[in-house]
């Protein structure tokens, strides 16, 4: 997650802009802030009581220039002056270590209505759908984003004295930030947008505008078809071969790809049964259950919540899960809870297959679920959940990281590969394709 830290005022010696460049007033402000931080740290060592009631962090990190955050009472010391970037639960009072270490998760941001510049209505609608979780899932979000971009590109007109290949990118940037403000960007969206930018910069200058736009749109279509739709059917084929009659397949939450695989296998007259595991906060398994039972004849399904897993794992022959993204060290970043399913399956020697298209590869290395995660908005907590206050916080992380040791194989459109070989796939595909 990109922490947009305020540029000025960070009491870190390395990032301080030179004193000369700031005006006198700014320098004085900086000194005041440093003094306050020092006093804050001293006070924080003395007491721990957070007497002030919690003020919801309206001071989101986007307010770069606004440093008039109220420093009202001495107890509400913003010791997080050094942690402005967290953007959550500021001006709270000194917090214990526990509450601090999760502060980088950040609260889910409400979609601000400060629309900088013109955002295309398709993008506005998409942002709203993202923040309401109406469109959920890596593939769905990517396809929706690309489709929205197609309409943006069609409606775009190059201003005079500008070329499409150069200006379109700057035109798209605020649209992308609007989407990111709704929900942090998924790896799929990131890869697709990177590919789109590559295409844009590579478009021929001499082409008339409408032709250039049509070409871009067809390239977007091509990307969706090739990397997602066709890849999915190849993966269905490969995974289907691993499902035999009499199998019990276990899956967790809802992966669009696993859903397709199961329906396809059922259509090929394979007899198997499915165990769907589910868990808060999203409880997506019920949607999967509905799809699976609406086939004719319905697939025999069992439904249970995650803690019931140890009782069921003995009967399972294969575990099929989806992924949000795959990382170079073989770790799988997917819905929270997948790691536990994979871990327990490994204990009982049940093969775990992760179904994932190659466009979900990310070049970063992921060690645990902390470096990058997202919290579900509070609307997913039922009414019986206790209300947060100074000592209580409710966290609903949406993702977690499954270590490569728990995974048996990854099913991609280039074949079944062991998780340790993932880093070589981009090389095999030709680096430019990723």
Partner 1 sequence: MASDPQMIASQRVVEDLASRLRRRQVVGSRQSALETLLVLRQVVSRARFSNVEQLVELIRSVGRRLVDAQPKEHSVGNTVRKVLHHIREEYRTATEGTAPTPAVTFSIAKFVSQGQPRRHMAAPRSDATSVPLKENDPDDPDSFARTLKPVLMEAIQDVFDELETVYDNISKNAKDHIHSDEIILTLGKSRTVESFLKAAAHHRNYTVIVAETAPSYGGREMAKSLSSAGISTFLVPDSSIYALMSRVNKVILGAHAILANGGMFAISGSLLTATAARAYSTPVVVCAGQFKLTPLWNLYHEYGALDFGDPSAVLGFEEGDLVDKVDVVNPHYDYVQPELLATFITNYGDHPPSSIYRLLKETYDDEDNEL
Question: Does position 394 bind partner 1 by CB under 8 A?
Answer: yes
Nearer to partner 1, 229 or 365 (CB): 365
Pick out residues in 105-134 that bind partner 1 (CB under 8 A).
none
Nearer to partner 1, 244 or 286 (CB): 286
Kindly tell me which residue out of 279, 318, 325, 412 binds partner 1, with binding defined by CB under 8 A.
Answer: 279
Residues 6 or more apart whose Cβ sits within 8 Å of residue 44: 77, 79, 94
Cα–Cα nearest to 401, from 358, 430, 372, 434: 372
Nearer to partner 1, 222 or 290 (CB): 290
Which x/- pattern, by CB under 8 A, does the window 291-330 give for partner 1? --x----x-xxxxxxxxxxxxx-x----------------
Kindly tell me which residue out of 13, 68, 202, 386 binds partner 1, with binding defined by CB under 8 A.
Answer: 386
* Helices 138-155 and 187-201, axial angle in degrees (round to 10): 30
* Helices 138-155 and 256-267, axial angle in degrees (round to 10): 110
Nearer to partner 1, 55 or 158 (CB): 55
The SS3 assignment for 314 reads helix
Q: Is residue 282 within 8 Å of residue 253, measured between CB atoms? A: yes
Separation between Cα atoms, residue 428 and residue 434, nearest integer Å? 10
Nearer to partner 1, 48 or 58 (CB): 48
280 backbone dihedrals φ, ψ, rounded to 5°: -65, 160
Q: Is the peptide bond between 242 and the residue preceding it cis, with omega within 30 degrees of 0?
A: no
Nearer to partner 1, 188 or 373 (CB): 373
Cα–Cα nearest to 285, from 324, 335, 246: 335
CA 253: distance to chain centroid? 16
Q: Is residue 263 within 8 Å of residue 291, measured between CB atoms? A: yes
Smallest gap from residue 323 Cβ to partner 1 (A): 15
Cα–Cα nearest to 397, from 343, 307, 337: 337
Question: Does position 136 bind partner 1 by CB under 8 A?
Answer: no
Question: Does position 404 bind partner 1 by CB under 8 A?
Answer: no
Smallest gap from residue 262 Cβ to partner 1 (A): 14
- Count of residues in contact with partner 1, rule CB under 8 A: 56
Joined tokens for residue 74: 């001495």
Which x/- pattern, by CB under 8 A, does the window 341-380 give for partner 1? --xx--x--------------------xxx--x-------
Question: Does position 220 bind partner 1 by CB under 8 A?
Answer: no
Question: Does position 95 bind partner 1 by CB under 8 A?
Answer: yes
Nearer to partner 1, 62 or 293 (CB): 293
SS (H, E, C) 69-126: CCCCCCCCCCHHHHHHHHCCCCCCCCCCHHHHHCHHHCCCCCCCCCCCCCCCHHHHHH
Q: Is residue 289 within 8 Å of residue 259, measured between CB atoms? A: no
Question: Does position 392 bind partner 1 by CB under 8 A?
Answer: yes
Pick out residues in 160-189 that bind partner 1 (CB under 8 A).
none
Separation between Cα atoms, residue 263 and residue 289, nearest integer Å? 12
Kindly tell me which residue out of 141, 254, 399, 411 binds partner 1, with binding defined by CB under 8 A.
Answer: 399
| Segment lying near partner 1 (by CB under 8 A), choices 89-97, 208-216, 238-246, 421-429 | 89-97
Residues 6 or more apart whose Cβ sits within 8 Å of residue 104: 1, 3, 85, 86
Question: Does position 206 bind partner 1 by CB under 8 A?
Answer: no
Nearer to partner 1, 70 or 307 (CB): 307
Kindly tell me which residue out of 1, 22, 99, 140 binds partner 1, with binding defined by CB under 8 A.
Answer: 99
Question: Does position 281 bind partner 1 by CB under 8 A?
Answer: yes
Q: Is residue 375 within 8 Å of residue 107, measured between CB atoms? A: yes
Question: Does position 391 bind partner 1 by CB under 8 A?
Answer: yes
Residue ranges binding partner 1 (CB under 8 A): 48, 95-99, 101-102, 279-281, 286, 289-290, 293, 298, 300-312, 314, 335-337, 339-340, 343-344, 347, 368-370, 373, 384-386, 389, 391-397, 399-401
């Amino acid at each position: 997650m990109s922490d947009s830290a305020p540029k000025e005022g960070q009491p870190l010696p390395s990032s301080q802009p030179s004193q000369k460049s700031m005006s006198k007033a700014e320098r004085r402000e900086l000194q005041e802030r440093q003094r306050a931080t020092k006093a804050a740290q001293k006070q924080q060592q003395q007491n721990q009581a957070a007497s002030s009631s919690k003020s919801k962090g309206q001071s989101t990190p986007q307010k770069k220039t606004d440093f008039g955050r109220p420093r009202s009472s001495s107890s509400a010391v913003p010791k997080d002056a050094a942690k402005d970037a967290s953007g959550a639960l500021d001006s709270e009072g000194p917090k214990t270590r526990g509450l601090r270490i999760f502060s980088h998760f950040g609260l889910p941001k409400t979609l601000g209505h400060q629309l900088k510049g013109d955002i295309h209505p398709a993008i506005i609608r998409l942002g709203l759908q993202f923040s309401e979780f109406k469109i959920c899932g890596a593939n769905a979000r990517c396809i929706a984003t690309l489709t929205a971009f197609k309409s943006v590109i069609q409606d775009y007109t190059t201003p005079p004295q500008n070329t499409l290949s150069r200006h379109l990118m700057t035109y798209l940037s605020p649209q992308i930030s609007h989407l990111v403000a709704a929900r942090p960007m998924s790896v799929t969206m990131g890869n697709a947008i990177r590919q789109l930018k590559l295409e844009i910069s590579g478009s021929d200058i001499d082409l008339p505008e409408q032709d250039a736009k049509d070409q871009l749109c067809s390239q977007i279509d091509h990307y969706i078809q090739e990397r997602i739709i066709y890849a999915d059917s190849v993966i269905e084929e490969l995974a289907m071969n691993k499902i035999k009659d009499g199998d019990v397949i276990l899956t967790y939450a809802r992966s669009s790809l696993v859903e397709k695989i199961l329906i396809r296998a059922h259509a090929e007259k394979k007899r198997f049964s499915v165990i769907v595991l589910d868990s808060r906060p999203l409880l997506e398994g019920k949607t999967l259950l509905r799809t699976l039972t609406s086939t004719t004849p319905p697939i025999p399904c069992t439904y249970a919540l995650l803690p019931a897993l140890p009782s069921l794992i003995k009967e399972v022959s294969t575990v099929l899960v989806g992924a949000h993204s795959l990382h170079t060290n073989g770790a799988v970043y997917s819905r929270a809870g997948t790691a536990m399913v994979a871990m327990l399956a490994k204990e009982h020697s049940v093969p775990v297959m992760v179904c994932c298209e190659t466009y979900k590869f990310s070049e970063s290395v992921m060690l645990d679920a902390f470096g990058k995660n997202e919290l579900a908005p509070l609307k997913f907590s039922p009414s019986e959940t206790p209300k947060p206050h100074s000592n209580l916080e409710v966290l609903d992380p949406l993702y977690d990281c499954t270590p490569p040791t728990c995974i048996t194989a990854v099913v991609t459109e280039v074949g079944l590969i062991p998780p340790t070989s993932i880093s070589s796939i981009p090389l095999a595909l030709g680096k430019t394709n990723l």
